[in-house]
Structure 1
Amino acid sequence: MKQRFASIRYRYIISHLNALFLTTVTILSILLTIHVLFNPTWLTSESIFLFISLYITLAIIFSFYVGFKSSGDLKERLDYLSVLITQFANGNYSSKVYSNEADELARIGNELNELGEKLQNQVKSLQRMADEKGELAKTAHKSAVIEERQRLARDLHDAVSQQLFALTMMSEAAVKQLDKDPKIAKDQMKDVAAASLQAQTEMRALLLHLRPVHLSGDPLPKGIQKLVSELKQKSQIDFHVSMDENIVLSEAKEEHIFRIVQESLSNTLRHANATEVTLAITRRANELFIHIRDNGKGFDSTNDSVKKTSYGLKTMKERCEELGGTFTIRSNVNEGTYIDIRIPC
């Protein structure tokens, strides 16, 4: 209610009522001055009261009418500007607003139209740079392979290698306890099973990174279907995938999007402990919309330090921004993770 009365329409009415108050005080002062100084017979206290009452009644009615009437066009034009700004925020830079007026609002609308054209040109430049970057990436494939191998070696050493070492130690301890205390040995074997499951999950995620950087000539929907089919065979996660089959993009865009999806599924496999993943890729009017959701353990998405230290999230965001898109992630502890990506087409 408070927000409603703060709208431009009610501000117009209040300004008319303020003018009415000042005018009423002025007229009343003049009439009282004439009555006191000259005391004409036609100007009595009753006539002054009647006149002022009629004047206030009619003026209030006209103030409300004129306030609503005069502010209607202004409110409508401001709504148009607000919708245009919202369209820009959603990445729809081709939207425009038109006005036949020659006032300040029309000037602001024209400036917003020019801003939209500049943003649209910047998106095209970013996408062109992404295409050029894709060509350059092919020439630098060997160095990328070396870097990827080094990263995988570090991950194997930091994660899987240490877990295998722990498995060895726990297995040896369980064997020693088998004759002395079978109950302790049983508990230790349970720990071995849990650790081996975690090592297996880490290995699956690392194997996911061993896939080619490019789609090997497959279109994006087919490449993602192959990726999901492979993950279904190697994990217990239930995948729900929906994609528009008529998506046509440049080769560089398809590679970026494929790698974003691959990185997201890898993070889910390694960290989320999820049992269900939903992946939807749809083509809208002027954008490609990608939605990825899991029911895993989630994390505190309001903690900026988590986002900054997450290599996978940083990589996905950078790839999305290279295509001129927007990357949004929402997550809470024990409530899963939601990723929404919008890429202008």
Structure 2
Amino acid sequence: MKNRFSSIRYSYIISHFNGLFLTTVTILAILLSIYVLISPEWLTSNSIYLFIILYGLVAFFVSVYVGFRSSGDLKQRMDYLSVLITQFANGNYQSRIYFNEGDELSRIGNELNELGEKLQNQVKSLQRLADEKAELAKSAHKSAVIEERQRIARDLHDAVSQQLFALTMMSEASIKQLDINPELAKEQMMEVAYAALQAQTEMRALLLHLRPVHLSGDPLPKGIQKLVDELSQKSQIDFQLVINDNLKLSEATEEHVFRIIQESLSNILRHANATVVKIDISLRGNELFMHIADNGKGFDLEHDHAKKTSYGLKTMKERSEELGGTFTIRSNIDEGTYIDIRIPC
């Protein structure tokens, strides 16, 4: 209620009431002065009081009516400005507003239009830089392949090779215990099976990075569908993909989006222990919306600094921002992880 009475419309009415009060006091002072100093026959105390009362009543209703009518246009224009600012905050920089009055609000509207045009040009510049970067990436493809191979080799040495070594040691130990202590041998074989599953998952994630950096001529929906189908055949995860088959973006944007999906699936395979993964990619107005969710073990976003600054999440965030987009992640322990990405188109 307090906010309602502090609006522009009620401020206008209150200003009219202030004017009414000052006008009434002034007229009353003038009439009383004439009555005291001159005392004309036509001016009596009753006529003064009657005039002031009638004037006050009529002026009260006139003030309310004029206040509502005169503030209506201003309120409407302020609402237009508020909506335009909200559109800019949501990334819709193509919105514009036009006033013909030529006053201060018209000047503010024109300045906001110029701001929207500058923001739109900045987004276009970011996307143009992304296109140029994609061309440079193609020209440096050989060096990128070498670097990626070196990174995969390091990951293989640090993760898979150590897991395979552990498998070998546990297998030899379980064989020795098979005749002596069958129960212990059974427990060790269960550990071997679990370690083998972890190594298999790690290997799938590494092989996922060995896929081509580019879509190899396939449109984005087809490329992502192939990726999901391949992982569905090789893992027990239920992938739920929602993407429009007619989705068309610039070449650089498609490659960035493909790599973001690829990186997110790699993280899920390695760390999430998820059974269901949902991927939703769609155009909403003038922006591309991507939602990636899993029902895995999640992590503490506030305190797990290593996870929050991991290479995979950092890469996805950087790719989103290169396209002028926003990257948001939500996660809690045992509640899965949710990633939302919005990219202006």
Q: Where does residue 134 of structure 2 map in the other structure?
A: 134
Q: Where does residue 95 of structure 1 map in the other structure?
A: 95
TM-score by length of 1: 0.85
Once structures 1 and 2 are overlaid, which stretch shifts more, 94-103 or 238-247? Answer: 238-247
Aligned residues: 344
CA RMSD of aligned residues (A): 3.1
Contact 1:84 1:95 in 2 (8 A): yes
Trace 1:2-41 onto structure 2 (pairs within 5 A): 2-23=2-23
Contact 1:237 1:275 in 2 (8 A): yes
TM-score by length of 2: 0.85
Once structures 1 and 2 are overlaid, which stretch shifts more, 285-294 or 172-181? Answer: 172-181
Trace 1:189-338 onto structure 2 (pairs within 5 A): 189-302=189-302, 305=305, 309-338=309-338
In the alignment, the residues of structure 2 paired with residue 48 and residue 307 of structure 1 have an alpha-carbon distance, to the nearest angstrom, of 82
In the alignment, the residues of structure 2 paired with residue 191 and residue 32 of structure 1 have an alpha-carbon distance, to the nearest angstrom, of 105
In the alignment, the residues of structure 1 paired with residue 108 and residue 12 of structure 2 have an alpha-carbon distance, to the nearest angstrom, of 21
Shift of 1:326: 2.4
CA pair 14-336 structure 1, distance change in 2 beyond 3 A: farther
1:65 aligns with 2:65: yes
CA pair 150-18 structure 1, distance change in 2 beyond 3 A: farther
> Tell me, which stretches of 5 or more residues in structure 1 are unaligned?
none
- Aligned-pair identity in percent equals 77
In the alignment, the residues of structure 2 paired with residue 47 and residue 154 of structure 1 have an alpha-carbon distance, to the nearest angstrom, of 102
- Amino acid of the structure 2 residue aligned with 1:322: E
- Amino acid of the structure 2 residue aligned with 1:196: A
Once structures 1 and 2 are overlaid, which stretch shifts more, 152-161 or 287-296? Answer: 152-161
SS of 1:293's equivalent? strand
In the alignment, the residues of structure 1 paired with residue 61 and residue 165 of structure 2 have an alpha-carbon distance, to the nearest angstrom, of 86
Contact 1:307 1:314 in 2 (8 A): no
Contact 2:299 2:307 in 1 (8 A): no
Shift of 1:334: 2.9
CA pair 102-177 structure 1, distance change in 2 beyond 3 A: same
CA pair 61-137 structure 1, distance change in 2 beyond 3 A: same
SS of 1:327's equivalent? strand
Once structures 1 and 2 are overlaid, which stretch shifts more, 199-208 or 25-34? Answer: 25-34
Contact 2:301 2:308 in 1 (8 A): no
Shift of 1:182: 4.5
Once structures 1 and 2 are overlaid, which stretch shifts more, 290-299 or 305-314? Answer: 305-314
SS of 1:289's equivalent? strand
In the alignment, the residues of structure 2 paired with residue 173 and residue 335 of structure 1 have an alpha-carbon distance, to the nearest angstrom, of 37
- Amino acid of the structure 1 residue aligned with 2:319: R
Shift of 1:49: 6.2
In the alignment, the residues of structure 2 paired with residue 305 and residue 58 of structure 1 have an alpha-carbon distance, to the nearest angstrom, of 69
Shift of 1:220: 0.8
Shift of 1:343: 2.2
Structure with more contact order per residue of length (Cα contacts < 8 Å, sep ≥ 6): 1
In the alignment, the residues of structure 2 paired with residue 154 and residue 289 of structure 1 have an alpha-carbon distance, to the nearest angstrom, of 34
In the alignment, the residues of structure 2 paired with residue 326 and residue 109 of structure 1 have an alpha-carbon distance, to the nearest angstrom, of 26
Once structures 1 and 2 are overlaid, which stretch shifts more, 289-298 or 22-31? Answer: 22-31
Once structures 1 and 2 are overlaid, which stretch shifts more, 212-221 or 271-280? Answer: 271-280
CA pair 21-220 structure 1, distance change in 2 beyond 3 A: same
Trace 1:49-60 onto structure 2 (pairs within 5 A): 54-60=54-60
CA pair 307-23 structure 1, distance change in 2 beyond 3 A: farther
Contact 1:298 1:337 in 2 (8 A): yes
Once structures 1 and 2 are overlaid, which stretch shifts more, 111-120 or 34-43? Answer: 34-43
Shift of 1:263: 1.0
SS of 1:161's equivalent? helix
SS of 2:327's equivalent? strand
Contact 1:12 1:71 in 2 (8 A): yes
Once structures 1 and 2 are overlaid, which stretch shifts more, 270-279 or 179-188? Answer: 179-188
> Tell me, which stretches of 5 or more residues in structure 2 are unaligned?
none
